[in-house]
Structure 1
Amino acid sequence: MRKVILALLSFLLIFSSFGCSPKETKLTNLTKVTLMLDWTPNTNHTGIYVALDKGYFKERNLDVTVVQPSEVWPEQAVSGGKADFGISFQESLTQYVVNEGAPLVAISAILQHDTSGLIWLKDSGITSPKDFANKTYGGWGSAWENAIVDYVAKENGVDPSTIKKVELGVFDQITGLQKKVYDFTWVYYGWEGIDAELRGLKFDFYSLRDHIKNFDHYTPIFITSKSMIENHPEIVKAFVEAISQGYTYAAKNPDEAAKILLKYAPELDKNLVMKSQEWISPYYLDESGCFGVMKESIFRNFTDLMYNLGIIKSKVNDVNTLFTNEFLPCKK
């Protein structure tokens, strides 16, 4: 008996070393759902394509169509019923819910930490944000983005009105820097930062989560509608289980996962995808090896920051209305 117990304990120990193993919810009938990306395919999306390629959706009787945004953004598409799931960002989700009353909920994080920051070339005349005066910033023009750039400027003794702001235009962000269309811009290191490295550029990167209190947040995230959760919880559960399995695989097998992404998006630069995947895969899982888990404290601190910066109209009394870990194989 003692040997049997020891054998069982050994098995459990080995099993637990693999982190949280996604459970499997199989829907009764084949169910078609639409997932809208936030942009063109990149390594933020790798786990989706792994789930497609490995049959994780199919195993759960899900037929998933992946689309890119065109006339509307994912938040609008999911709110309006044009997509069942979408990829958003914590700041976008919060603005849509608080300012516009959108019936949206975050159902999974993709990365456990924000990886964005401001970037400039070493020959731009900028050595730190203290040099932003009379420089040109290239961005998307969103209220959130402008508020953060202005905040960084003020914290470094620069009058934000002295910064010229232009929209990114036809160039990707790194090409825009190279062509001197603007002096600095906001990028996600796992893609544009790696791109700058591969181009051999000499640059500085100002990590926002390292310099702004409570800035660290979940970006990007998977979202769905409240009605989807209320009326079709089993579909949400099956979907979240499949993406969890896909991203967990990508975290542990970055090279193979990158090749799968390239299979579905052959237009992407191979070297960039391979290097980006190697860099970003560790961000998929938390310290206990779980994918997607979101913490109340992160939502609360970041939402307060957004309110203090004037991005949202009112405080959120209960941030748990913005997200749920309910459907994740790993719940905390």
Structure 2
Amino acid sequence: MKMRWRKMMGLLLLCVLLVTVAACGSKEAAPSGENSGSNTENSSEGNNAALKDIKVVLDWTPNTNHTGLYAAVDQGFYKAEGLNVEIVQPGTGGADTMVASNEVPFGVSYQESVTQARTQGVPLVSIAAVIQHNTSGFAAPVDRNIKSPKDFEGKTYGGWGSPVEEAVMQSIMEGEGADVSKVKNINMGDADFFTAVKRDIDFAWIFYAWTGIEAELRGEPIDMLYVKDYSEALDYYTPVLVTNEQTIQNDPELVKAFLKATSEGYQYAIEHPEEAADILIKAVPDLDKDLVLASQKWLSPKYQDDAPRWGEQKQEVNPLDTTMEGELEELLEVVRKMHEVLVEAGSPSIISQIKIAHSPSGFSMDTLTEKYR
């Protein structure tokens, strides 16, 4: 189990390092490109060209993680880039499947899902961090008395069936001298947290900006264990915007236009949280207005946080586990193939930001920079 955890975390860090693209933050430095069809209009033509219809699929029901997308629609930022964007909810296969199969060009996902997809050969690429720091963690009603990962022992966890869940749980429990095998796991799927904890689970993995804020409004106090508080390595990007490798290679101008407008949407939400909340409520009137407003006020400062621009994804890596040799070579090959088109499309160079002093496959910062910069 320990080896599996080390491998998973190494891959997680590697994906944050290599398979992410710094997102656009200004008109001068808009990130790079994607594909959704051969009839893409040049974004520079803006309103002078027919609008291109595209879809972006959410990871879950609409919430404040998605406000920037709705703001970009409402404020006309997409139209200014020649795009008519429809925001849709995921089908039974989920957002990752829809993007990976080119059913839609863009989606909302999680870095842990991208990591798992990459190891399985699925061509997902993270192109922007929606939130700069990880606001997710394990939450439990206070009457379960879960104050630390040690308290997970003997409790029932409600998850969604991803191997990343157990890997992260094992990591933070081992740091407390606890045994992950003493946790009972139940797949709760999309079940509501507040309903589930009243039935058969004790704790679950949530985003505080939505479920945590809802707990406050309900007057149902929870104990929240943010995963990033137990390891810097767990302060990864989640959620993220994703696309397909093919889209990047075949239609970089589409990605550039989409990210430029999306960045403006999130910047609007950062600067105008109350107005942005109203936009989300208007677009999705079934949402709880009080929850949306409270969540938006809590989350808006966290979209960009300490990054120089919204969407930025930094590359930071530790020496890599030698058990990852095959996966490393595969991922580096992806980076090599994508590098030229990403830079041409306006994204900061991936290779120039890689800080690997050593890797088990013999690649190094110097050799990569020389050949692909």
Q: TM-score, normalised by structure 1?
A: 0.83
Alignment map for 1:38-77 (pairs within 5 Å) = 38-77=59-98
* Residues in 1 aligned to 2:57 and 2:324: alpha-carbon distance in whole angstroms: 25
Aligned partner (choices 132, 149, 153) of residue 112 of structure 1: 132
Offset from partner CA, 1:2-61 (integer Å, 9 cap, x none): xxxxxxxxxxxxxxxxx9544574454421112111111000100000011111111111
Aligned partner (choices 231, 248, 260) of residue 250 of structure 2: 231
* Residues in 1 aligned to 2:275 and 2:116: alpha-carbon distance in whole angstroms: 36
* Residues in 2 aligned to 1:60 and 1:25: alpha-carbon distance in whole angstroms: 7
Offset from partner CA, 1:270-325 (integer Å, 9 cap, x none): 1111111011111211435511111111xx45x96xx79x9998346649839988
How much does 1:240 deviate?
0.6
* Residues in 1 aligned to 2:308 and 2:64: alpha-carbon distance in whole angstroms: 19
Indicate if the aligned counterparts of 2:155 and 2:184 stay in contact, CA closer than 8 A: yes
Q: Secondary structure at the match of 1:218?
A: coil
Match of 1:314 in 2: 327
* Residues in 2 aligned to 1:311 and 1:171: alpha-carbon distance in whole angstroms: 35
Indicate if the aligned counterparts of 1:134 and 1:164 stay in contact, CA closer than 8 A: yes
The letter of the residue matching 1:70 is G
Give the fraction of aligned pairs with identical amino acids, expressed as a percent: 41
2:96 is aligned with 1:83: no
Comparing 243-252 with 154-163, greater Cα deviation is found at 154-163
Indicate if the aligned counterparts of 1:20 and 1:290 stay in contact, CA closer than 8 A: yes
Match of 2:206 in 1: 187
* Residues in 1 aligned to 2:325 and 2:134: alpha-carbon distance in whole angstroms: 20
Q: Report the CA distance shift for 1:135/1:76 in structure 2 as closer, same or farther (over 3 A).
A: same
The letter of the residue matching 2:91 is S
Match of 2:143 in 1: 123
* Residues in 2 aligned to 1:246 and 1:162: alpha-carbon distance in whole angstroms: 44
* Residues in 2 aligned to 1:249 and 1:71: alpha-carbon distance in whole angstroms: 32
How much does 1:167 deviate?
1.9
* Residues in 1 aligned to 2:108 and 2:182: alpha-carbon distance in whole angstroms: 34
Alignment map for 1:138-177 (pairs within 5 Å) = 138-168=158-188, 171-177=191-197
Alignment map for 1:289-328 (pairs within 5 Å) = 289-297=308-316, 300=317, 314-315=327-328, 318=332, 321=335
Unaligned runs of 5+ in 2: 1-23, 29-42, 354-373
* Residues in 1 aligned to 2:180 and 2:129: alpha-carbon distance in whole angstroms: 32
Indicate if the aligned counterparts of 1:286 and 1:293 stay in contact, CA closer than 8 A: no
Offset from partner CA, 1:220-247 (integer Å, 9 cap, x none): 1111122212221111111111100000
Indicate if the aligned counterparts of 1:296 and 1:319 stay in contact, CA closer than 8 A: no
Q: Secondary structure at the match of 1:229?
A: helix
How much does 1:180 deviate?
4.5
Match of 1:204 in 2: 223
Match of 2:295 in 1: 276
Unaligned runs of 5+ in 1: 1-18
Q: Report the CA distance shift for 1:313/1:272 in structure 2 as closer, same or farther (over 3 A).
A: farther
Q: TM-score, normalised by structure 2?
A: 0.74
Aligned partner (choices 41, 58, 63) of residue 37 of structure 1: 58
